[in-house]
Amino acid sequence: MDIFWAAPPVSRTLTAAVVLTSVAVYGGLLSGMRVVFYRPWLLTLFPQLWRLATPFLLTGPKLGMILDPYFLYTYGSSLETESARFIQPGDFFVYLVFVCSTILATSGFLLQGMIFLAPLTVALAYTYSQDNPTRNITFYIVTFQVKWLPYAMLAMTFVMNGPQQTMHEATGLVAAHLYDYLTRIWPTFGGGRNILWTPAFVERWFGGNRPGPRTRGFGTAFTARPRGLLALEERGVAGDREEDSVVNETSLWLSLGVDGLLAFWTVRRKDCADTTLMTEYQCTSLEAILPIKHYTPLDSR
């Protein structure tokens, strides 16, 4: 357990959630229909909002249960601890939220994808390659510079799974490049300003209100004390206010978590008889993770 808690917080939590969800689905403990993204089940009177997040927690079958979490943690933890892009607490979390939202809009709503972990891994690999373009890496049995990594991953997908799956994974590359454009290229070379900043409440979640040194891959980073905090501490009220804030935020998230779990486990199971508007690609995706084989795709009618 010490190894787990010593790992970067966002990467370890995301990887652990991916492993637990995938084991539950492929082990038959949880129906894959509860976690995949399917727009008609999201846009209902009682929307199944967990489907905005759970499609990022499901690996591919068989060997994918090992390789997908490995690549996810390798590139994610490297970015979280070593990248100069993510200096302030919570920066990497905001990056993930933006990238996942872009993948959801493109692969999910536009291309009608159902599982998004592979595009997310490509996005992490792209950002990692931008930070370490000349570093050598071994991908399976081939060694090359990291800058070619995301394209090698897409080429492998094209060979093994065809062009349609490659298009879905390429949305991760688009999402990561869009983040790079908005946060680095446009402000640096276009004279614009960075519109993707880390909110104060996210910084507090990750300890941004606790000044001190943090070890990074490129050196030691120091978090500055907020200007108003010192004055409040001198008046003797900062501690009480901070404690009340933590209690209120904790109570809110606990209540939301309980409601979310209840909604998740009480949702009515969907099977093929209910999915009359699925495309052939969606049916193929589901057949890879579910034992049910009698989907009727819209394309075939």
Distance CA 229, CA 110 (A): 45
- What are 202's strand-pairing partners? none
Dihedrals φ, ψ of 71, to 5°?
-65, -40
CB-CB contact of 11 with 75 (8 Å): no
d(CA 155, CA 22): 25
The pLDDT, as a whole number, for residue 136 is 92
Supply the pLDDT for residue 17: 96
The confidence score (pLDDT) of residue 4 equals 86
Which candidate, 247, 112, 125, 128, places its Cα nearest to that of 167?
Answer: 112
Per-10-residue mean pLDDT, the chain, length 301:
86 96 94 90 86 94 91 95 90 96 95 94 96 89 92 94 95 97 92 88 81 54 48 45 44 42 38 53 68 45 40
How far lies 57's CA from each of 39, 44, 178, 287, in Å? 17, 23, 22, 17
Strand runs labelled E in the chain: 136-139, 142-145, 213-216, 219-222
State the pLDDT at residue 259.
Answer: 42
Among 182, 179, 26, 173, CA closest to 107: 173
Quickly count: other Cβ atoms within 10 Å of residue 192's Cβ. Answer: 12
Q: What is the pLDDT of residue 47?
A: 87
Q: What is residue 221's predicted lDDT score, i.e. its pLDDT?
A: 56
Q: What global pTM score does this model have?
A: 0.74
Contacts of 44 (CB under 8 A, 6+ apart): none
What is d(CA 201, CA 68) in angstroms, rounded to the nearest whole number?
A: 31
Q: Which residue has the tokens 């606990």?
A: 254
Q: Fold for 2-224, please state it.
A: Rhomboid-like fold (1.20.1540)
